[in-house]
Amino acid sequence: MTTDLTTHHIHYERDRYGIVTLTLDLPGSANVMNTDYRIAMAAAVDRLEAERDGISGVVVTSAKETFFAGGDLDALIAVTPDTAPAFAAELAAIKDQLRRLETLGRPIAAAINGSALGGGLEIALACHHRVCLDDPAVRLGFPEATLGLLPGAGGVTRTVRLLGVQAALPLLTEGRRLRPGQAREAGWVHELAAGHDELLDKARAWVLANPGAVQPWDTPGHQVPDLKPLDPASYALLAAGPAVLRKKTHGCYPAPEKILAAAVEGALLDFDTALRVESGYLLELVTGQVAKNLIGTFWFQLNELKAGRSRPSGHAPYRTRKVGVLGAGMMGAGIAQVSAVAGIDVVLKDVSAEAAERGRARIAEALGERHATALDRITPTGDDADLAGCDLVIEAVFEDRRLKNTVLAAAESAAPPHAVIASNTSTLPITGLADAVPDPDRFIGLHFFSPVARMPLVEIIRGEKTSDATLARAFDYVLQIGKTPIVVNDSRGFYTTRVFGTYITEGAALVAEGVHPALVENVARKAGMAVGPLAVLDEVTLTLPLQAHDQALDQATPGAPYADPAYRLLDTLARELGRTGKAAGAGFYDYPADGGPKTLWPGLTARWTKPDDAGVPEQDIHDRLLFVQALETVRILGQGVLTSVADANIGSVYGIGFAPWTGGTLQFVNAYGPQAFVDRADHLADTYGERFRPPATLRGKAGHGKGF
């Protein structure tokens, strides 16, 4: 065997059978499609072509734990219209290298020894045969769409020709990450291997057995399986595809639509022209604002948070061994479930063992047989004494201060003296709740979101006396259960609940002013919000914002007339008409007893809607719903409740469903342009109220041309 390392980070080894193994080994912990890769691959392909007559085939594999991590996001986020031509030239060079590899005239096999995402899968698809390590940690896929991009190194073009448009589109537009077995079923992978030696053996055996291998698309007469020029059978796909995508994206996300365009247009063209079409659409996306929003927040800022940006330094990592959960209702059961699935023993405590057992039964129903061992970790109880071995106790009872104080005091007395005591409150100040325990430096807020098993965020609230050690342990627990932590300082409603409140009350305000409720809901979804504000109000119950409003103002007479039209409307619906929300079967929507689809209550339009939606333009509705949340975030940051832009952006999207295409509430301000945002907010304030008036901190930033 001959070995030569002169190809700059791609090891070139030829064995006695003439098989060359190219082992990708770029600087850093993972292989990335960057300048180093481009130079190294150019040298490797040049050498393969020069030594072609002495080569029987090629195996491409990796020296890293993963096969290949994808594109260089530092470079991608920096591309501008001015630098786009240079980027296009580099992209063309990368695609040319892969094209030369697959048309070398020798069989090429990929030995995929770890996850192959984005550019890594594109390299593998440029090989004639793909063998993948059958490891449960391995994933294959194209996550580009989730970052506002498309697979631009041949991923769209090759996947469409390999699988057909209909099978390819979900994989390309939804960012699905498949396990090896799933990738084989989909058609990305041909064979699986149980170990690394078998992986390489299978790849080399295939090379020797298939000397005349060519790509399907290089076979004369090849056509995309389900899309042929001038074929009437293809018309249904062409007609339905854009409508289906628009229903999902509401026009907020250009990447899936560009992927569809590249897929369909490319399918009707020759292969090399299709590659150029794919590149053109990637250039449009990479220079656009949405991609920069998504990459900045959901790659750089998210990784920053998970790496411990908000965790106090100087404290050793801590693994929670046993957690006590107070309250076996929806939230408590959810917290117990995710903790047990993460391998933590759980004591689920309620007013009685029977009530706790009912909570455990709900968990069993949710988990099914897949997580039987997790269920075994949950011990239901009605006795505080069973909390004796817990190093973390989380209270998850109703939002009533006296009730919380009672259960917290009892639990703290039973738990070990080193245990961290936490509350899952969504509104009540942590510093006040800490009075229930004798050692407030061990007390902290852990605000989970519903449904707990699905929502990725936990908002950690630091009270005035919470110690760094307590915060570090809480942070580690959130990571241990697979959630994303943000850290905020204490305040009524903290961060997410305050911003969430502005969204739902703005929706109510629009209806109270005379805007048709259907328009409010539809514009909210078109703006990128996951659920309309009126539907959300029904889910949380209309009494919740009324109670929060009463507590905040210490209103002496609940039900007395409210000054704010939004709260007057909620008061009328909930307290006068008994329409308190989904749980009651009636709120903004009607909920049929037979479980049929909900519909907006006709009484809303009869009682409140005005002709021409009270003269409120659709763009104003759109902006009011987004601006009111962004402005509240700016205020919270200025008050020191939020301490980082990353916490704000990730928290707004992961916690309360702020439009993801914006990159979060503060990135929305940045992308809009701080001065333009201030000007627009002033217009909204002049027209609709002072809640839209920008705070002085934002004016100062805008005046200096600075963002967040």
Point out the residues that are catalytic: 447
Pairing mode, strands 140-141 and 322-326: unpaired
Q: Which residues pair with 574 in a beta bridge?
A: none
Q: Which DSSP string do the residues of 183-195 spell out, in sequence order?
A: HHHHTS-SEEESS
Q: How many CA atoms lie within 13 A of 627 on its CB side?
A: 28
The CA distance from 70 to 115, in Å, is 10
- Cα-based distances in Å from 12 to 22, 65, 199, 573: 5, 19, 18, 73
Pairing mode, strands 57-62 and 19-24: parallel
The CA distance from 296 to 287, in Å, is 13
Q: Which long-range contacts (CB under 8 A, 24 or more apart) does 670-675 make?
A: 670/707, 670/708, 671/289, 671/292, 671/293, 674/698, 674/701, 674/702, 674/705, 674/706, 674/707, 675/702, 675/703, 675/705
CB 210 within 8 Å of CB 107: yes
Task: Tell me the three state secondary structure of residue 65.
Answer: coil
Residue 597, Ramachandran bin (φ over 0: left; ψ between -120 and 50: alpha; else beta): beta
The CA distance from 247 to 10, in Å, is 44
Instruction: Please classify residue 190 by burial: count the beta carbons closer than 10 Å to its beta carbon, then call 0-12 exposed, 13-18 middle and 19+ buried.
Output: middle
Closest CA to 542 of 576, 491, 494: 576
The CA distance from 700 to 707, in Å, is 10
Closest CA to 450 of 318, 361, 544: 544
